[in-house]
Structure 1
Amino acid sequence: MVAQHVVKEGLRWRVGNGERVLVWEDKWLPLSSTYKVVSLNTFFHAGTYVSELIDSANASWKSMVIDALFLSHEAETIKSIPLSSRFPEDRLIWVILLMASSVGDSSDTSLVRRFWKQVWSLPVPHKTRHFVWRACHEAFPTKVNLARRKVVMDNTGDVCGLKAESANHELWDCTKAQEAWSCSKLVGLSDQSECFSFIDLLWKMIIIDWVEEEKVARMVTISWALWFNRNEIRLGGARKDGKNVKVAGLGVIIRDDRGRVEAAMCKKVLVPLSALEAEAKAFEVGLLLAKYIGIQDVILEGDSLVIYNALCEASLPPSSVASVVLGMMNLCREFRRIEFSHVKRQDNRPAYLLAKYAIGINDFLVWMEENPYFLEQALSHDVLAYSFSE
């Protein structure tokens, strides 16, 4: 009976079409505190389903309705849940809970081993994992460290110019860093006053709170970006505004068997998608575009190994993109022949440039049998590489 209670407590809904999930009664928000909506229901009846918050015609959330109904952090969380254009059924998933006994049964040494094992296995680039190791060991040339070694006299940070520049200040306490964290989808991390260093916060997420791996990966990626921008500022670069992260760009390019462009598309998405979620939506947009122009034999190519493995059914997709992946797998059945291919990021540059271009447009752009002018160089390089590979 105890085990049954634990399983029940650990269940939450993964939204597909929203037809089985009650807005104010069920656990469905990807927030590790309660997974339930805390905003007061002032307009709708108690039996309102999540489907009523979805614009089924455009496979998107009803942003204006959501902004009016929910607290700002919950509204942003809801709007950032990726929706599949195929609207698969809602599913109950089990979220691992931290049991107090599991900590008592483990020695400090085994916890440290588990901590570093999970750090080194995070689905992020190696440079980001290396950054995490240095952040945990305070091995950065911060002004606090440099002043301690008499290299500089003033330890005030260059980003905010208010307090001493330590790693924890640059990555967390600084008001400029807080702008980025408040705009991220990592709700609940904006106040971690009990964490006095980067390793304290990471330890809390991995060992104490058992935060999902994809959220830990997102946290360290944002931290890396903050440190990278700090270095850019020191070299005369511009400070990036954390408030500009609420949009994502998707890029898709369709070629024939000779590498020539048949169609290209870029689309702006007005929600703060993570890199993985944006990649999943780009795959989906590519399939829909191929279907729209009548292509039946498809090789679907992208640089996300996680999405590639999920589509090949080599591994389960993370919960944040599971509905989108399931919808894509259903859509794939409508093609005569389909294969999946994984490429490195540098080999996917035209799609990356399209996604970057999408940030500056209003909605979406499609090119048919013509090359977008800003892709000419990248496409020429790809055609040459294709010719040499034959």
Structure 2
Amino acid sequence: MLSNPSFLVAWVFKARYFPHDEILNSKKGSSPSYAWRSIHNSLDELRKGTRWRVGNGRRIHICEDKWLPTPTTYKVTSPPTDFEDFPMVASLIDPDTRWWKANTIRSLFLPFKASTILKISLSYNLPEDRLIWVGNKKGIFTVKSAYYIACNLVDTVEGACMNGLPTMLNLTTRGVNSSGFCPLCDKAIENLPHALLHCDHAKQTWSLWQDCSVNLVSLILDPIDIALNLLEKGTINDLEIFFTEFKGACTSFSLHQNPSATSWRPPPLGFFKINVDGAATEDSGNSSIGVIIHDSHDTAIAALNKVLLAPYTIEVTEALALLHGALFALEMEASYAIFESDALSLIQSINSGVVGGEIGHIL
């Protein structure tokens, strides 16, 4: 019913049990059928594993709904802000530019949260918002991915507490040639607590959490002691915020791509070939895309390059490259076209019709 709301069985249950709302907000109702009772009893687990993919933002509440790419809350956890009479994500999107209202977002949210929002990609046609499953990139529910969601936070915290991150101290003990000192401040040996909590640069980040019940800047504590202090002096929400940001600091993404082993060939007679590519960097520089169109005689007839509005992940960048390639092809009236990209996973998703994940609205 979440993935295929147009199916007949979805229509029947919606008409009977949640005609004016989403299934995740539905009530069990009076005299429910055995099937509906079973479905409704599983909704709590489904809520933990779903979040909104932003389309036009009209159905997503800014503070109450899960829509940010920030595990494990996926919610806005910044101090509350007055969004007046329309607290929906649509109020943050400019319908004319089909992009975020950057100045408005920077004025309403803390810098790190504003940066996160501005990195969320929007589709050019601003489709309807859609609930997606966060347990895998395809956005499709599986039992395996549900188990992954249940274990994800536990595994991350356990990995950090077991001191398994590649700090300078750990690299030195594993035979890597390193002084062991923090490469940012050069004041102390870089172990796990120093890297994520005690370094001056880490303290600057934690100082943005202004209403934290524990002073993370002045106290010299390890992650477990901080968690216990938060439980004693704060709330469960404080603990969730701490582990959300801690998880983000523990996570890194590889930008490496395997080069294609297939040589380039011109398209068949009467067709155009549109090659697209995207580039993303590990620093704060914005992503960029490039498009080139060839005819069947191997002649380049048009090209496009563009710097995007934010530093996206490589997967989002490649998806936006395909989108801009399609728009450029329409502009050049290349009706019969073959698209070529080195992003194999995106091509496979398009060919198979599996576009339910985080970037499905772009594809």
**TM-score range relative to shorter protein:** 0.5 to 0.7
> Pairwise mapping of residues 163-182 of structure 1 onto structure 2 (< 5 A)?
163-164=188-189
Deviation at 1:276, TM superposition (A): 0.6
| Alpha-carbon spacing, 1:43–1:21, altered in 2? closer, same or farther (3 Å) | closer
Report the Cα distance in structure 1 between the residues aligned to 2:340 and 2:89, rounded to whole angstroms.
Answer: 33
Instruction: Determine which of 22, 33, 41 is the counterpart of 1:2.
Output: 41
Match status 1:221 vs 2:250: no
Contact 1:53 1:65 in 2 (8 A): yes
Give me the TM-score of the superposition, normalised by structure 1: 0.51
Q: Secondary structure at the match of 2:116?
A: helix
Return the structure number with greater relative CO, CA threshold 8 A, min gap 6.
1
Instruction: Determine which of 155, 162, 172 is the counterpart of 1:144.
Output: 172
Report the Cα distance in structure 2 between the residues aligned to 1:283 and 1:90, rounded to whole angstroms.
Answer: 21
Match status 1:194 vs 2:223: yes
Give me the TM-score of the superposition, normalised by structure 2: 0.54
* Paired AA for residue 221 in structure 1: F
Residue equivalent to 1:324? 362
Instruction: Determine which of 73, 85, 107 is the counterpart of 2:124.
Output: 85
* Residue-by-residue CA offset, 1:177-230 (whole Å, 9 max, x unaligned): 999999xxxxxxxx99538xxxxxxxxxxxxxxx9xxx99x9333699xxxxxx
Deviation at 1:274, TM superposition (A): 0.5
Deviation at 1:284, TM superposition (A): 0.5
Deviation at 1:57, TM superposition (A): 2.3
Instruction: Determine which of 69, 82, 85 is the counterpart of 1:42.
Output: 82
Q: Secondary structure at the match of 2:317?
A: helix
**What number of residue pairs does the alignment pair up?**
251
Deviation at 1:17, TM superposition (A): 1.4
Contact 2:255 2:314 in 1 (8 A): no
Deviation at 1:21, TM superposition (A): 1.7
* Paired AA for residue 51 in structure 2: R
Contact 1:306 1:317 in 2 (8 A): no
Contact 1:246 1:270 in 2 (8 A): no
> Pairwise mapping of residues 1-390 of structure 1 onto structure 2 (< 5 A)?
1-38=40-77, 39-45=79-85, 47-96=86-135, 144-145=172-173, 155-156=180-181, 160-164=185-189, 194=223, 219-221=251-253, 244-313=283-352, 315-316=354-355, 318-319=357-358, 321-325=359-363
Percent identical residues:
30
**Which structure 1 segments of 5+ residues have no match?**
116-134, 183-190, 196-210, 225-240, 326-390
Contact 1:40 1:70 in 2 (8 A): no
* Residue-by-residue CA offset, 1:335-363 (whole Å, 9 max, x unaligned): xxxxxxxxxxxxxxxxxxxxxxxxxxxxx
* Residue-by-residue CA offset, 1:239-281 (whole Å, 9 max, x unaligned): xx97x51521122222222332222212112312111111111
* Paired AA for residue 223 in structure 2: E
Q: Secondary structure at the match of 1:279?
A: helix
Report the Cα distance in structure 2 between the residues aligned to 1:173 and 1:167, rounded to whole angstroms.
Answer: 9
Deviation at 1:161, TM superposition (A): 2.8
Report the Cα distance in structure 1 between the residues aligned to 2:343 and 2:252, rounded to whole angstroms.
Answer: 18
Q: Which has the higher helix share?
A: 1
Q: Secondary structure at the match of 2:82?
A: coil
